[in-house]
Copies of this chain bind each other. A is one copy, B any other.
């Protein structure tokens, strides 16, 4: 399907959807949208007298969340709250009660009910984690008029659709320090996500301190790794937010870093293993035929598993192309001896040995969907990353796994590092209309957004994760029928800026990069460009992984840009509306943009140039040129072939990828040119 058609369809869906989902109260910026919500006319005033009281044993998590709730509320509203901590009587104006402490497992109950009256608020839940989810809902309800902040009178009963609502962060390709992880954990909790999958090892680095095998961090991390104390700190921090932590130690492929430290585990004798600086799939692979391999992994896992209390332990297992196995005679002999026909069989052999090691350590094995082979025990959890877009039938490995009796989690469709639109990710329906038995359905635990970091540093990672992941969180939490894109976008705008409260840097670091690019000159013209540009998608930036090294600059224009360019969305919608109905209103809206863009290069050219700015210049020139021409034609409603040709040429130039971004108003501009050609040409 061509891009234009998608946009037109989305636009129509939007207009239909506005009526179809009228039951969504558009004036509440809740995300994820709760199961049931009813409203009254009551208003609970947020003033200095607000207090919280907690009924429930072991109040660690809830007390912590309540204190943070009060801090966030006071900073959001400016209200000087008298009591900065939960009070000891049961008479708080916000009354919290719960029964048990969640174990942080796939069996947790996260439901809650929230009842807001004029005088008090009641938040109840089975578990402490349910309370955490409810407190986030309450905070999202903060509303104001000119003189007061208040919570609107609503009754909400809520529970998640899926029990596994995850975000994976790759800390291997670019190391992400503890503060990056913590702020993302806070953001996750704010949209009720509950699984943090920590991709800790890969070709580009081994990121955990090992006391058993210290060469791992000494030789294979460039000094960028988490100490065991930091790991414990993060796991504890996550637990306080009701978030489970699943570590991933990727084997037997993606192992350049491990083999840099311990080459004796490698499949190719004499190979010069080194930390990988580029991106992609590489050859270094652990040798699954050696005893020392299993000694090493058992010792390593024995050291690592106590750091991660969760039931599951992710061993990666993906993208092993087996090149070094093929080149190793001993491995070939081993395969023959053990009647392992393919490398896939050999890897299954390896995985099953790992499964036993992990079981002994009280853990269940989780791995990317390549581990799902006939002999793999169904106690393993299958992480589905391949679906229709990798050429598989509908439902992909997720449905296969569920039908084969494996518990499974979906990431296909949620690779947020591909820089696709929030519309795309939000529209992914994990199960859809595929018929499953109750048991099969129960095997589908949920999903994970995956943030691979070949191109994301601590400076930019937040803008790659947020706000899109909030919409994905809604996909995992809310009912299947909550799928109106336009309504989601309205709410997302508010959620996005409120993520700043939690320290998320997606908005502010954009300006930091632009100040860097301009050497601290006026960034307005770059901002206006940025609002219609998006980084190249689906791995078209850094194609084949050989342009950027891990230590290349990631402070370029593409790094400041992000998905869902904000002006482009409004402009494009206006264009399609105009093309549909030829009304003045959308025409004026789009003309306003054309006017702004036509003048933008003048401002751009006032910035003293430099080598970082220079490559952006053609984009700026062509945008102004195209906009000016088009604006002139649309205004005077008259043109000729010659002028149109100049316009088309300018437009073609504009559509060339520049500085790793694409200009996402190209298709609508093209449609407008077609329109002019059809309606305004005079011979």
Contact = CB atoms under 8 A, between A and B. Distances in A.
A299 interface: no
Given A84-B550, A551-B81, A556-B78, A611 B511 contact: no
Interface residues of A, number: 59
B277 A78 contact: no
Interface stretch (A140-148, A437-445, A598-606): A140-148
Contacts of A494: 520
Nearest to A615: B78
A76 B611 contact: no
A233 B223 contact: no
A549 B84 contact: yes
Contacts of A233: 227, 229-230
B512 A511 contact: no
A133 to B, nearest CB: 21
A645 interface: no
A36 to B, nearest CB: 27
Interface string A458-494: 0000000000000000000000000000000000011
Interface string A604-633: 000001111010000000000000000000
A490 to B, nearest CB: 13
Contacts of A230: 229, 233
Given A233-B227, A515-B507, A611-B146, A74 B551 contact: yes
A609 B227 contact: no
A1 to B, nearest CB: 34
Contacts of A614: 146-147
Given A147-B611, A512-B500, A223 B77 contact: no
Interface string A147-189: 1110000000000000000000000000001110000000000
B511 A497 contact: no
Contacts of A554: 75
A555 B500 CA distance: 12
A493 B85 CA distance: 41
Contacts of A227: 229, 233
A80 B229 contact: no
A79 interface: yes
Interface in A34-70: 64, 67, 70
A391 to B, nearest CB: 34
A219 B78 CA distance: 28
Given A146-B614, A497-B515, A516-B500, A74 B508 contact: no
Contact of A516 (B144, B277, B501, B516): B501
A148 B512 CA distance: 21
A239 to B, nearest CB: 14
Contacts of A493: 520
A581 interface: no
A113 to B, nearest CB: 28
Contacts of A85: 222
Interface in A107-156: 144-149
A374 interface: no
Contact of A515 (B178, B500, B612): B500
A508 B512 contact: yes
A611 B145 CA distance: 8
A62 to B, nearest CB: 13
A553 interface: yes
Nearest to A75: B555
The residue among A70, A179, A277, A493 with the most chain B CB atoms within 10 A of its own CB is: A179
Given A501-B516, A508-B512, A77 B146 contact: no
A272 interface: no
A505 B507 CA distance: 13
Contacts of A5: none
A419 to B, nearest CB: 20
B552 A74 contact: yes
A454 to B, nearest CB: 15
Nearest to A517: B78
Nearest to A559: B75
The residue among A81, A145, A610 with the most chain B CB atoms within 10 A of its own CB is: A610
A232 B227 CA distance: 12
A277 B507 contact: no
Contact of A511 (B501, B511, B555): B511
A78 B548 CA distance: 12
A509 B508 contact: yes
Interface in A493-507: 493-494, 497, 500-501, 505, 507
The residue among A71, A553, A609 with the most chain B CB atoms within 10 A of its own CB is: A553
Contacts of A75: 516, 553-555
A320 B505 CA distance: 42
Given A178-B179, A179-B179, 14 more contacts: A80-B548, A81-B552, A84-B277, A144-B519, A144-B610, A146-B614, A149-B611, A230-B233, A500-B512, A505-B508, A507-B511, A508-B508, A508-B512, A511-B511
Closest A-B pairs by Cβ, 7 of them: A84-B551, A179-B179, A508-B508, A497-B520, A229-B229, A78-B612, A75-B555
Interface of A: 64, 67, 70-71, 74-81, 84-85, 144-149, 177-179, 222-223, 227, 229-230, 233, 277, 493-494, 497, 500-501, 505, 507-509, 511-512, 515-516, 519-520, 548-556, 609-612, 614
20 contacts: A67-B222, A70-B551, A74-B551, A74-B553, A75-B555, A76-B516, A77-B612, A80-B552, A84-B549, A148-B611, A227-B233, A229-B233, A493-B520, A494-B520, A497-B520, A500-B515, A501-B516, A507-B512, A508-B512, A511-B511
